[in-house]
Amino acid sequence: MTAGSARQAIKAAWRSARMRVGGAAAVLIYHRISSMESDPELLALSPERFDEQVAALSRDFNVVPVGEVFRLLNRPGRIPKRTVAITFDDGYADALHSAVPILHAHGVPGTVFLSSGAIDSPDEYWWDQLEQLCFAPGKLPSTITIDTGARIFSHALETDATYAPEAATRHASWNVTQPAPSGRQRLYLELASFMRQLPPAERNPAMVSLLELTGVALSTRPSHRTLDAAEVALLSRDPFIELGGHTIDHAVLSACSTEEQRHQIHDDKLRLEQLCGCRLASFSYPHGGFDDFSTESVRLVREVGYEGACTTDSDICVAWGDRFRVPRYLPRDMGAEDLAARLARWLDEGR
C-alpha cells in the first residue's frame, strides 16, 4: 500500500467511526421551484416534483433548518437519526411563491440564501441574461469580443450568428451536461465560463459591454425575477423559513481580493439583517465548489459572525465535521422514492 492510499484508508476509517458514534446529516440544495421550458444550468425543479420530494422527506426524515445542522456539528452529542435540511440558493421569487407553500403543507422548514444586491433588482442574474442573449432567435455579431481591461473574451460565431426560430425551438431543452448542438450553445458555455470567474467590478461592466455590442434588449421575465424587499420581509417573519447570506453580488470569492471579499460577505450580512430585522447565522458560498472560495473566505465568514457555511460539494455531513465547509446534495429531477432511498442509504449505512 502506498503512503497516499494508506492516508486515504485512515481517513475513510476515521470518517466511518465518526459516523457510527456521532451520526450524520444531509443538506439538500435547490435553486428554482418552477416549470421552465429552457433551463440550461439545470437549476429548476417543478413544483409537482418538489412536492413529492418534500412529502417523502417529511414522512421519513427529521427535517431541520440548516442552522440547526451547524449547531449539531458543533456539539458533542449524536446527530439525530436521518437529519436533513432543505436549502435554496440565490433568492428567486419562486422560493416564496412556489417552495414555501409546499414546505407549509408538509410542516417542514427551509433555509433561503439571499444575495442582497439581487433584492429589488430590475435585472435578471447574469446567467439568465446570457440565456436570453444566446438563445433568442435573431442575429448577433459574427465575432463577439469583450475587454474588461484585465481580461479579454473573444468568440467567432460565423454561420451561427443568425439563429432561426426553428433552431431555438428545437434546442430549447438543451442543458450544460449535453454536447453543444450549435454555435449558440458553444457561445453560452464560453461566455458563462468567462463571466463566472470575473469579480463583480469587472463582470458588471462586461455585461454592459456585451449588451451594447450585440444590441440585444433584455427583459426581466416574471418567471426569472428575484425577491423584492417586501417579499424578503415576508420570508423573515415566516416561522418555517430561516434566511442566510450569499454575498452581495453572487461573487466567486476566490476571484476577489481580501477587501472585496470582506465587502461581499460583511456588507451583505449587514444589509440583510437591516432588511429582515433579525440576525443571520447561516451562509452559502456562491457557486460553492472548493475552487470558488478560499481559506481566507472561510476566515471572513467566521469573522462576521456566521455559525456555519454551505458548499456545493456533493456529500453528507458527518459528526464533528467542519461547519464552515458543509457539503450539500443536489437532487435535481429525482423521484421522491429514489431520493428517500438514497438519503436513507447514506445516513443509515454511510454509503
Residue 42 and residue 32: Cα distance in Å, rounded? 9
Asked whether residue 2 is assigned to any structural domain, the reply reads no
The DSSP secondary structure of 106-124, one letter per residue, reads HT--EEEEE-GGGTT-SS-
pLDDT along the chain (351 residues), means of 10: 61 69 93 96 97 97 97 88 97 98 98 98 96 95 94 93 96 96 97 95 94 92 96 97 98 96 98 95 97 97 98 92 96 95 87 53
Domain count across the chain:
2
Residue 45 and residue 30: Cα distance in Å, rounded? 8
Model pLDDT, residue 22: 84
Identify the CA nearest to 28 among candidates 122, 99, 104. 99
Looking at the fold, whether 181 and 316 belong to one and the same domain comes out as no
Model pLDDT, residue 7: 62
- Straight-line distance from the first to the last Cα atom of the chain, in angstroms, rounded to the nearest whole number: 23
Looking at the fold, whether 157 and 208 belong to one and the same domain comes out as yes
User: What range defines the domain where residue 206 resides?
Assistant: 126-219
Dihedral sign of CA atoms 180, 185, 190, 196 in order: negative
Model pLDDT, residue 13: 64
Asked whether residue 8 is assigned to any structural domain, the reply reads no
Model pLDDT, residue 77: 80
Residue 227 and residue 248: Cα distance in Å, rounded? 14
Note whether 244 and 112 are within 8 A (CB): yes
Looking at the fold, whether 102 and 32 belong to one and the same domain comes out as yes
Cell of 339: 431520493
Residue 185 and residue 162: Cα distance in Å, rounded? 13
Dihedral sign of CA atoms 30, 35, 41, 42 in order: positive
Looking at the fold, whether 300 and 185 belong to one and the same domain comes out as no
Looking at the fold, whether 253 and 330 belong to one and the same domain comes out as yes
Asked whether residue 16 is assigned to any structural domain, the reply reads no
Cell of 109: 422548514
For 215-255, where are the E strands, in sequence order?
A: 241-245
Model pLDDT, residue 198: 94
